[in-house]
Amino acid sequence: MHEKFSMERRRALKLGGAALAGGALAAAGWSLWNRGRNLYQIRRERTLMKTTVSVNVFTQDPGEARRIIEASFDRMTAVAANLTRFDPRSPVARLNRDGKLANPPPELRAVLGHALAVSAVSEGGFDVTVAPVLDYYLGLERPVAVTPELQGAVARRETHVGYRSLVLEEDAVRLTRSGMGVTLDGIAKGYVVDQGIAVLRQGGIEDALIDAGGDLRAVCGAGKRHWNVGIVDPQSISRVAAVIRTDNAAVSTSGNYEVFFSADRRLFHIINPHTGYSPRRYSSVTVVAREAIESDAMGVAGFFMDPPRMKEVMAARGAEWLAFDWTGARRWRSKGLPLVIGRAQVV
């Protein structure tokens, strides 16, 4: 359990409309601020899915809010256990090992179904079956150099990639090519965040934000408050390059600065399923959507679309977006993006 609030891919800057007076208390990963007028801000942190996950709520009943927050973490932990590929006992690990999984848990079925839909709309840019190539890169000593040996290894693993060979049946899921594997890194955290938010809402929490190290979702009751979310500069992650406003929405950012394999960042954690290498159009893509499963997956899918295509696809799915080019010099955004600070060309 971490005491420090980790902001790996973006920063939640503030909740608008709340009083700023009052003191703060912290213990065992909990933080509580008295905001005045019987309103308290509570934050709880845990390590989950290899990142720091924070739950922030505003409440008039700190004791009850703590109980609901713990229930939210319990739900997120249970869901994450069904979506990881790193635990050999997990459903995903068994699917990757055996090539078939009977009666997949509903969480896995929901995520795979959404993943296949995003694969179709992104023309295969988003593809959870890219695991054989991604895991190859993850196993290499860094920095990675693109040598003939590496190119040959990537080409061999590429034959095991293809979302159309992932078959979701009524009572099973199958990988129809030998050597295939699934990674849910680009979509699972969003779904987990959505599940945590659902528990908070069921418990009566109206104002909350869950941040899972790059995928966050906010809810605000009666439109009285909002969250301002800072987007880091992909060229210098110590700086905030833009701030967007959100109230009842999810925000996800993917960038080449998160996990990269080569010194020049040309090989990073997003892999083009059609080539085995990373796309080089953007250094960062942020997506705002109704649910975090959507913003998470579309934040990856956006790397495979030029700005006009991004405009078309995101609009059709009811999402807003912001993209930085490879050098950071050019930025594009959707017209409806609630941009508070920063500049970007409207597409």
> What are the tens digits of pLDDT across the range 113-158?
999 999 999 999 999 999 999 999 999 999 999 999 999 999 999 9
In this prediction, residue 271 carries a pLDDT of 96
Ramachandran class of 213: left when φ > 0, alpha when ψ lies in -120 to 50, beta otherwise: left
Percent of the chain with pLDDT over 90: 84
C-alpha closest to that of 231 among 208, 214, 248? 214
Mean pLDDT of 286-315: 98
In this prediction, residue 36 carries a pLDDT of 65
Strand partners of residue 24:
33
* Strand pairing class (249-255; 282-289): antiparallel
Residue 16 pLDDT > 50: no
Q: Which residues, in sequence order, are CB contacts of 17 under 8 Å at separation 6+? A: 224, 225, 226
159, amino acid identity = T
Would you kindly state where each structural domain of the chain is located, as residue ranges?
91-175
| pTM, rounded to two decimals | 0.90
Tokens of 89: 């006992």
Strand partners of residue 12:
229
Q: What is the pLDDT of residues 72-121, one digit of tens each?
A: 999 999 999 999 999 999 999 999 999 999 999 999 999 999 999 999 99
C-alpha closest to that of 124 among 311, 300, 257? 300
Residue 3 pLDDT > 50: no
Tokens of 327: 């050098």
Percent of the chain with pLDDT over 70: 90
> Strand, helix or coil at 148?
helix
Sheet of strand 320-325, all strands in order from the earlier edge strand to the far edge? 24-27, 30-36, 39-48, 51-59, 207-212, 215-219, 249-255, 282-289, 320-325, 331-333, 345-346
For 91-175, the fitting CATH number among 1.10.3980.10, 3.40.50.1700, 1.10.760.10, 3.40.50.2020 is: 1.10.3980.10
DSSP letter string over 186-244?
Answer: TTHHHHHHHHHHHHHHHTT--EEEEEESSEEEEE-GGG--EEEEEEEETTEEEEEEEEE
- Of the given ranges (88-92, 171-175, 232-236), which has the lowest mean pLDDT? 232-236
148, amino acid identity = P
Confidence grade of residue 223 (pLDDT, cut at 50, 70, 90) = low
C-alpha closest to that of 19 among 1, 4, 33? 33
C-alpha closest to that of 180 among 134, 125, 116, 119? 134
Ramachandran class of 15: left when φ > 0, alpha when ψ lies in -120 to 50, beta otherwise: beta
On average, the pLDDT of the chain sits at 90
Residue 331 pLDDT > 70: yes
Q: How many C-beta atoms lie closer than 10 Å to residue 74's C-beta?
A: 12
38, amino acid identity = N
Instruction: Return the C-alpha torsion angle 122, 123, 128, 131, nearest 10.
Output: -120
Which whole-number Å values give the CA distances from 271 to 115, 249, 293, in the listed order? 15, 27, 19
208 with 57: CB under 8 angstroms?
yes
DSSP letter string over 224-238?
Answer: --EEEEEEEETTEEE
Residue 2 pLDDT > 50: no
